[in-house]
Amino acid sequence: MRNDEIQSLRNLDFNLLKTLLVLLEHKHISKSAEILFISQPAVSKQLNKLRDMFDDPLLVRTGNQLVLTPKATRLFPLVQNLCQQLRALVLPEELDLTQIEANVSIMCSDYASPNWMTQLLAQVNREAPNVSITCKNWSEENIQKLYKGDINFALGPMVGAESLCESASLGDHENGYIARHDHPLFSMSQDEKSLALKTFPLVKMKGSKRYQQIYESAFEQNVTLIDEVGLWLALETLKTTNAIMVGPKKFVQSLTLSGEFNYETLESLPSIPIAVCWTSGLTSDPFYRWFCDKVVTIGLSLVNQK
């Protein structure tokens, strides 16, 4: 290491890193004091030191709240990654999963819940019983939270934003549609079905924009009966109407196990990409690396399942 690099490190007070991370995350003096178990004046004093250290106000008041400066916004993911790496230095090589208490946040749509999430929950509960999972809706707001580290994982691709997070591509997946088991479509010939598919109303679930764009391009003539709906109401609607619902093949196939619905593959639709994304630097922590491996392994098994 060069002398000038050593000198620049001397100017940094690493004891303030934890305070900096908490302040950037919560943007609140009193709340940060509670989390750090120190007084509000002590947090304010440390914030002043940090402002001198970085030659920037870091947090500025706008109305009744503190907001990050542009420099603080750039620093936030770097500080998160650095703190995770420092924590990894003192963690034991072998994880005792039964002793870990953590909450993991995952952004996903209902498309992932019947298969991917249920298997993940079962395995995590068995191997790491003190770990809880919080599911977040797929939305633009939550995508931004993933980039910032406020949400840990996303079950789905981040198209065009690969540099803002880390990801693993798991392959492509066919699509299909589901309808009630006695729907007129299932008694038609293939030629009749191709025409009739575009005449029945659609049930559209909350989900990835990428998926919805593919589905809407193929069914742009169809009337939308209900949009942005959750899984329970979607299924209840399908039971009592002639509507159909399009989705990943494994997803719609899993919904037919009750015998109330039937499904068919839509070979005319392009395959959809399956991926896992996570906040940059997250897996430098051994626990999150274990968790990420678990998510990817389950996803791969579903994609490759015949």
Q: For residue 234, what are the contacts with CB-CB under 8 A and spacing of at least 6?
A: 110, 203, 205, 226, 245
Alpha-carbon distances, residue 27 vs 33, 81, 216, 281 (angstroms): 11, 18, 40, 22
Tell me what pLDDT residue 6 has.
46
Q: What is the pLDDT of residue 3?
A: 53
Looking at residue 162, its pLDDT comes to 58
Contacts of 259 (CB under 8 A, 6+ apart): 181
Give 105-127 pLDDT, tens digit per residue: 999 887 777 788 999 999 999 99
Domain boundary among 27, 56, 89: 89
* CA distance linking residue 245 with residue 230, whole number of Å: 12
Whole-number pLDDT of residue 64: 83
Query: CA-CA distance, 57 to 46, in Å (whole number)?
Result: 12
Instruction: Please tell me whether residues 149 and 184 are part of one structural domain.
Output: no
CB 117 within 8 A of CB 105: no
Q: Which two tokens mark 164?
A: 């803002």
Q: Could you identify the residue written with the tokens 């038609």?
A: 188
The predicted pLDDT at position 112 comes to 76
Question: Which pLDDT score is estimated for 1?
Answer: 44
Q: Quick one: tokens of 71?
A: 């420099």
Contact 17, 86 (CB under 8 A): yes
Judgement on whether residues 17 and 51 belong to the same structural domain of the protein? yes
Residue-level pLDDT at 224? 92
The CATH number of residue 32's host domain is 1.10.10.10
Please state the φ and ψ torsions of residue 263, each to the nearest 5 degrees: -140, 160
Residues 56 and 108 in one domain: no
Q: What are phi and psi of 255, to 5 degrees?
A: -80, -5
Domain range spanning residue 167?
97-172+272-304
Same domain, 35 and 167: no
Are 183 and 254 found together in one domain?
yes
What is d(CA 191, CA 68) in angstroms, rounded to the nearest whole number? 59
CA distance 199 to 182: 17
Question: How many structural domains does the chain have?
Answer: 3
Is there a single domain that holds both residue 115 and residue 184?
Answer: no
The amino acid occupying position 60 is: V
Q: Are residues 160 and 29 in the same domain?
A: no
The verdict on 161 and 179 lying in the same domain is no
Q: What dihedral do alpha carbons 65, 70, 74, 75 form, nearest 10°?
A: -60
What b-and-e string marks burial along 247-276, b requiring 16 or more CB atoms within 10 Å of the CB?
Answer: bbbbbbbbbeeeeebbbbebeebeebbbbb
Q: Clarify whether residues 241 and 184 are in a common domain.
A: yes
The pair of three-digit structure tokens given for residue 127, joined into one six-digit string: 């191997």
Question: What is the C-alpha to C-alpha distance for residues 248 and 286, in angstroms, rounded to an integer?
Answer: 32
pLDDT confidence of residue 5: 47
Choose one of 89, 124, 154: the last residue of a domain: 89
Q: How much is the mean pLDDT over the chain? A: 85
Give yes or no: residues 144 and 19 share one domain. Answer: no
pLDDT on residue 8: 52
Q: What is the CATH number of the domain that holds 130?
A: 3.40.190.10
Low-confidence spans in the chain with pLDDT less than 70: 1-14, 84, 87-94, 159-163, 207-210, 305-306
Contacts by 185-192, CB closer than 8 A, 24 or more apart: 185/244, 185/264, 186/262, 186/264
Alpha-carbon dihedral sign for residues 123, 112, 184, 239: positive
In a shared domain, residues 77 and 17: yes
pLDDT digits (tens, 9 = 90+) for 209-228: 667 777 778 888 899 999 88
Query: Model confidence over 153-193: pLDDT tens digits?
Result: 998 877 666 567 888 888 888 889 999 999 999 999 988 99
